Amino acid sequence: MVDKQGTDGAPPRAIHIERKKVNWLAWILLLLGVAALLFALLRHRDDAADVAVAPVATGVATPPVAVEAITLPNGRRVDLAPATLNYDLQRYLASDAAAPRTFTFDKLNFDTASAAIRAEDRPTLDALGQILTAYPTAKVALIGYADARGSDATNATLGAARGNAVMKALTDGGIAADRISIGTGGEARPVADNGTADGQFENRRTELVVTSK
pLDDT, one tens digit per residue, over 133-163 is 999 999 999 999 999 999 999 999 999 999 9
CATH number at residue 81: 3.30.1330.60
**Structural domain containing residue 176:** 68-212
**184 lies in a domain?**
yes
**30 lies in a domain?**
no
Residues 6+ positions from 135 with CB-CB distance below 8 Å:
73, 93, 94, 213
**177 lies in a domain?**
yes
Could you tell me how far CA 172 lies from the centroid of its own chain? 34
In this prediction, residue 72 carries a pLDDT of 97
Residues 6+ positions from 121 with CB-CB distance below 8 Å:
107, 108, 109
pLDDT, one tens digit per residue, over 13-41 is 554 445 555 566 666 666 666 666 666 65
**60 lies in a domain?**
no
Entry pTM = 0.69
pLDDT, one tens digit per residue, over 93-141 is 999 999 999 999 988 999 999 999 999 999 999 999 999 999 999 999 9
**14 lies in a domain?**
no
**118 lies in a domain?**
yes
Total domains present in the chain: 1
